[in-house]
Structure 1
Amino acid sequence: MSDHPTYPTSLGVSDRHTISLLGQDLSTDLIGKVSFGHLAYRLITLREPTAPQARVFEAVLVALADHGFTPTAIAARMTYLSAPESIQGALASGLLGGGSRFLGVSEDTGRFLADALAGADELPTTPEGWDALAADAVRRQQAAGRFVPGLGHHLHKDGDPRIPALYDIAREEGQLGPHLALFEAVGRVAPEVTGKALPLNGAGACGAALADIGIPLELLRGVVLLARCAGLLGHIAEEARGHHVAADVFADVERHAVYVAPDPAPATGGEDA
């Protein structure tokens, strides 16, 4: 018996003649027989998605794939302009921008909702009950001096068009669970509680939907980045085809850059002896 250490995994292993993934033969059992979204769900959860879960998961991937000239897309285009031989660098630069303002909102929302649900003695059974839980969660967030994740959008001031589509699919598939229910209630009560008419945003709804179909909270942002990678690749492909937005941005900023003298540094006194 060999004394060499082994490295156990439930994902993929290969030998000279075969590739196994999730315990199945990649060539005969998976290629051409499952969608990429279906496979991604299995890789993340190590569970076979139900048909309803798979549809919601795919819907989230589509909803998050691209949102135009966001900072992450511009970063990918600019990096490609600077280093066209490094497509991996361009993709990475876009993905690295996934944080609290763009792309990371899905994870932040999922955690916010999960914390509120965990603090409830029991889940509400009426719209009024969900509204009360939501109002309490929003007040606690405000009292802590934190923004309510999933509320507001820099562009869709009158409502994010992804919200109805995502909720319709979740309802059709019987996947509108507690996270989506609570998020919907947040949208109802937030204007009164916060004093601001901020709509729910699609990124927050995606985080709630992913949590409801069993994606672990710590992996929510990873799913968002998986989806957005497709959009970033599209932006890079457009640059490669000659639609040089990055060059125009660079030229415009360079032409209009102006020197401004820095503010004088504040005087600092010495320490008392």
Structure 2
Amino acid sequence: MPAFPTSLGTSTADEIRLLGQDLTADLMGKVGFGELAFWLVALRRPTPSETRVFEAVLVALADHGFTPTAIAARLTYLSAPDSLQGALAAGLLGGGSRFLGVTEDCGTFLHEALEGRELPADEAGWDAVALDVLRGAKTKYIPGLGHPVHKVQDPRTPVLIGIAREEGLEGPHLRLFEAIGRVHEQVLGRKLPLNGAGVCGAALADLGLPVELLRGFALLARAAGLLGQLAEERRRPIGMDAYLTVDRNAVYVEP
């Protein structure tokens, strides 16, 4: 018989094992969901400090109001209330370069910028690296800079940086991101805030998680937020009003 190796979950008639642990005896009631999500990807159990930073990221990304992802989920639920999974999927499919995907884009940008570089010893050194990175960027669009709502400061950014610092996990990705926040005006000619999705990407990269999977963690967090949005749509629906507002105000124009 062929063999299909896995380090994740296996089952027999009387036992379920996950990550080499007995699911019922070793994990249920003893491991939090955030800790387990980290463990499933990294294949190592996170430290308490890593768990705190990781779960702070999940909380930061769970919900941000009537974003396109939330609206898409609510309108899909309006159209197909028999398909909760479809409504959740519709919201998750909107996690791209403008919403949610910035987490991965920023983490990847920082990771690539750090490759092959000697890490500075002080803030001035990080500022110099940030200036070099910004001047060498192929585009003036820097992932993690700017926010459509928080024009001065994203309230999540200083809090998450502070948590990482408290836990001794303010690594090179966060240090470079902070430096970009200090010096980018010299290169771009305008002052922009470091957005929450970007700082989440930097924090996740500093935890050693694969930058190619960072969008998945953003989607994991947003799945909880979307479920909350759909629960509220059931309690206090706005989907029909949103649809009718657009439909009744549609104006034909010659192509």
The alpha-carbon deviation at position 10 of structure 1 amounts to 0.2
* TM-score (norm: length of structure 1): 0.92
Q: How many residues align?
A: 255
> Does the 8 Å CA contact 1:72/1:98 hold for their aligned counterparts?
yes
What corresponds to 1:208 in structure 2?
202
- CA deviation digits over 1:201-253, x for unaligned, max 9? 00000000000011101110000000000000110111112x11111100111
Match of 1:158 among 142, 147, 152: 152
> Does the 8 Å CA contact 1:116/1:133 hold for their aligned counterparts?
no
Query: Could you tell me which amino acid in structure 2 is paired with residue 247 of structure 1?
Result: M
Distance 2:47 2:57 in 1: 15
Match of 2:169 among 152, 161, 175: 175
The alpha-carbon deviation at position 145 of structure 1 amounts to 2.7
Matches within 5 A, 1:67-216: 67-120=64-117, 122-141=118-137, 144-216=138-210
**Deviating 4+ runs (over 2 angstroms):** none
> Does the 8 Å CA contact 2:147/2:195 hold for their aligned counterparts?
yes
Distance 1:147 1:158 in 2: 18
- CA deviation digits over 1:92-125, x for unaligned, max 9? 00100111100000111011111111142x1011
Distance 1:150 1:139 in 2: 16
What corresponds to 2:57 in structure 1?
60
In structure 1, stretches of 5+ residues that fail to align are: 263-273
- CA deviation digits over 1:176-211, x for unaligned, max 9? 000000000000001121101111000000000000
* TM-score (norm: length of structure 2): 0.98
Distance 2:231 2:140 in 1: 38
> Does the 8 Å CA contact 1:103/1:225 hold for their aligned counterparts?
yes
Distance 1:146 1:99 in 2: 19
Question: Counterpart of 1:20 in 2: which secondary structure?
Answer: strand
Match of 2:249 among 241, 245, 256: 256
What corresponds to 1:218 in structure 2?
212
Match of 2:227 among 209, 233, 237: 233
CA RMSD of aligned residues (A): 0.8
Question: Counterpart of 2:219 in 1: which secondary structure?
Answer: helix
Query: Highest Rg: 1 or 2?
Result: 1
Question: Counterpart of 2:148 in 1: which secondary structure?
Answer: coil
> Does the 8 Å CA contact 2:92/2:223 hold for their aligned counterparts?
yes
Query: Could you tell me which amino acid in structure 2 is paired with residue 166 of structure 1?
Result: L
In structure 2, stretches of 5+ residues that fail to align are: none
Quote the sequence identity (%): 65
Distance 1:215 1:184 in 2: 19
Query: Could you tell me which amino acid in structure 1 is paired with residue 217 of structure 2?
Result: V
